[in-house]
Amino acid sequence: MSVVGNPATVNAMIQRASVALASDPVAAGREAEAVLKLAPNDPRAQLILASSRRRGGDIEAAYAILAPLAKAYPRAAHTQYELGATLAARGDRAAAIVALRAAVAINPSIAEAWRALGDQLFLEGDAAGADAAFAEHGRALVTDPALRPAADAMVEGRLADAETFLRRHLSGRPRDGVALRLLGETLVGMARYAEAETVLAGRLSLDDQDHGARFTYAKALFRQQKAAETIVEVERLLAEDGDVPAYRNLLAGSLALVADYDRVIEIYNDLLAQFERQPRVWLNLGHALRTVGRREDAINAYRRAIDLAPDLGEAYWSLANLKVATFGGADEEAMATQLARADLADDNRQHLYFALGKALEDRRDYEGSFRNYAAGAVIRRAEVHYVAGAETRFVSDARALFTDQFFSDRRGWGAPTPDPIFIVGLPRSGSTLIEQILASHSQVEGTMELPDMNLIASRLDIASLSGKGPGYPACLADLTAREVHALGESYLETTRVQRKLGRPFFIDKMPNNLWHAGLIQLILPNARIIDARRHPMGACFSCFKQHFAQGQGFTYDLTDLGRYYRRYVELMDHMDVVTPGRVHRVIYEDVVADTEAEVRRLLDYCGLLFEEGCLRFHENERAVRTVSSEQVRRPIFREGLDQWRHYEPWLQPLKIALGPCLEHWRGTNAAPYT
């Protein structure tokens, strides 16, 4: 490098240009040009000039400088990064990825290079590669040496180690914002979303401009189905940077929680116009299309996802989840090929097992079908947090608390509105059918499986335990009339976002609300509660072969399933005794046998006049989010009632766990099953 001017002067000019580059690239470019007059071959000035050109939009001028510079200095990490960013701007994705990989291989601490690499891999449709690059971007952003061990543990998947380290660190530095953000991200990775929400709220209270923390905070809210709160946070992020695809994707998911499917589909289509090779966006679009009844379009979207990512098990499972035969021999062979891979990720493997189980069931290979369902269930059971036997303790506590006297002493408490109609019970027991029937009435609005009642119960449990008082449900005994009324009003307020049609009544179809039947009667004494019930063998096996997105950890083991169903029936029997007539039972088999009679009985319980539209529920074009979406768009059929009998040779653990409940499952107000 020949230098005409004073080296000290040149170095000072280079320093000024470097500082100016981020905030004023034009000024940085002028300074670099001045340096090159003094030192025509200075690679630092050439790199700054190229970067200023790229940032100013003159991509070809930047490339003309960088191509020979990178060739002359192949081990210069920042030059390789600038070349990669410029190639990406030119649309040469493959070459950009090569240059960016070279940059991070030479210097893994260049955070912006990891981010750019992740963006290009995302565009290429390499979701796993993009996720890995973004994880490395997060690690590179951690510049405090004291936090490097935690960042390393997070990237390497050692989340428990990361949590331990970060909590120890925060005990001495409780206001360390980076540590709080990392802990929040760790807790999200561990699916401990409520804890993550609290931690990240603390981080944002220290610095509300930490967009990374806000995005993770929004994800924690979304995972708890706090739709309105998530939308507020994501729209704030989008106001800062509307081009980030992850923000737009999360907004679409949040809007789906409030049934704004026109916007959901619009967002996914816009994303695919930019990222047409992104399989997970195709997958999400398929989910939205299925929900609004565009079955063929949904199938096409799922197929496109599979074309782009043949190992994407969730796309195959989504096809299977349409509950209609969609697979052929080529599909079975493709799934088996992927399952034979030793490097297949567990998430893809379990989805493929469930999907292949459905394909074999459709062609009546029941032994092979069960073998695949069971293999998928083993993987899923190992990763879900479910404490077997917790229901036994809960039912014991509920029986002790919820007595005739308990409700008599609290008569007149709670929010008096009769608006909510709760449909509870075991999943896959006809609850979506009941919802569709009721939502076909002019006075009733169907919504979805709402998380609000469970969130109320969780808050009560946390509040009680943190004060060293009794947990839920025992803590309900200590609530005042004012507090009970406030809880009822809180439920009505948080669910208001779901009510778009202005009808007097609305449906909450969260099946797990069965455990909150006493809470519902306390805080919403005029709400209706419908117990959707089906033969235990049919209901439980239908759950066993279903891969649920979240919240049904008891369904992946036949013994767990039988015990869960047994305690559910025991609790409902108890509620029948202490609050007779408050819970209306709908037996799925009876609806199939005499639909009109059961519909009339259901409407009478809800205080609704009979409408013919309720018998033509399959003509209702409303969005249906559950796995039964395609089934309730057809007239009632009998074919699935005894499907479980084909699998009876392998269901002995379920029968044993169900015990006497096999005989008394319809509800007899009998003594508890022991």
DSSP collapsed to 3 states, 249-291: HHHHHHHHHCCCHHHHHHHHHHHHHHCCCCHHHHHHHHHHHHH
CB-based burial, 321-337: b 16+ in 10 Å, e otherwise:
bbeeebbeeebbebbee
Query: At the top level of CATH, which class does the domain 414-450+498-664 belong to?
Result: alpha beta
Taking the mean position of all CA atoms in its chain, how far away is CA 215?
A: 14
Q: How far is CA 549 from CA 74, 287, 318, 477, 508, in A?
A: 47, 12, 11, 34, 18
C-alpha count within 13 angstroms, C-beta hemisphere, residue 85:
26
Residue 62 pLDDT > 80, yes or no?
yes
The pLDDT of residue 525: 97
Q: How far is CA 453 from CA 254, 495, 537, in A?
A: 19, 10, 28
pLDDT range class, residue 636, cuts 50, 70, 90: low
Q: Residue 127 and residue 135: Cα distance in Å, rounded?
A: 12
Residue 583: Cβ within 10 Å count: 21
Residue 668 pLDDT > 70, yes or no?
no
- Say if residue 68 is preceded by a cis peptide, omega within 30 of 0: no
The pLDDT of residue 674: 38
Average pLDDT, stretch 122-129?
A: 80
Percent of the chain with pLDDT over 70: 94
Instruction: Pull the structure tokens for residue 1.
Output: 């490098």
Maximum separation of any 2 CA atoms in the chain, in Å: 100
Q: Residue 540 and residue 336: Cα distance in Å, rounded?
A: 27
Q: Where are the domains of the chain?
A: 16-26+43-213, 236-309, 414-450+498-664
pLDDT range class, residue 633, cuts 50, 70, 90: very low
272-297 pLDDT tens trace: 998 888 898 999 999 999 988 898 99
Residue pointed to by tokens 């009733």: 444
Beta carbons of 233 and 211 less than 8 angstroms apart: no
Average pLDDT, stretch 335-364?
A: 95
pLDDT range class, residue 586, cuts 50, 70, 90: very high
CB-based burial, 153-171: b 16+ in 10 Å, e otherwise:
bbbeebbebbbebbeebbe
pLDDT range class, residue 620, cuts 50, 70, 90: low
State the alpha helices, DSSP H only, in 39-158: 43-55, 59-72, 77-90, 93-106, 111-124, 127-141, 148-155
The pLDDT of residue 631: 53
Mention every residue, 6+ apart, whose C-beta is less than 8 A from residue 35.
10, 13, 14, 17, 42, 44, 45
Average pLDDT, stretch 623-633?
A: 50
Across the chain, what does the average pLDDT equal? Answer: 90
Query: At the top level of CATH, which class does the domain 236-309 belong to?
Result: mainly alpha
Instruction: Pull the structure tokens for residue 141.
Output: 């952003």
How would you class 127 by CB atoms within 10 Å of its CB: exposed for 0-12, middle for 13-18, buried for 19 or more?
middle
The pLDDT of residue 526: 97
Beta carbons of 3 and 9 less than 8 angstroms apart: no
The pLDDT of residue 246: 86
Residue 538 pLDDT > 60, yes or no?
yes
pLDDT range class, residue 673, cuts 50, 70, 90: very low
- Domain 16-26+43-213 and domain 236-309, same fold? Reply is yes
pLDDT range class, residue 642, cuts 50, 70, 90: confident
Q: Residue 542 and residue 559: Cα distance in Å, rounded?
A: 14
170-201 pLDDT tens trace: 999 999 999 999 999 999 998 889 899 999 99
Mention every residue, 6+ apart, whose C-beta is less than 8 A from residue 341.
311
The pLDDT of residue 470: 83
Between CA 558 and CA 564, with CA 563 as vertex, the angle to 5 degrees is 95
Average pLDDT, stretch 404-422?
A: 96
Sheet holding 444-448, edge to edge: 444-448, 505-508, 420-425, 528-533, 583-587
The pLDDT of residue 7: 81
pLDDT range class, residue 137, cuts 50, 70, 90: confident
Residue 125 pLDDT > 80, yes or no?
no
Name the CATH superfamily for 16-26+43-213.
Tetratricopeptide repeat domain (1.25.40.10)
Q: How far is CA 653 from CA 100, 425, 559, 566, in A?
A: 54, 21, 6, 13
pLDDT range class, residue 244, cuts 50, 70, 90: confident
403: nearest Cα among 581, 574, 524, 584 = 574
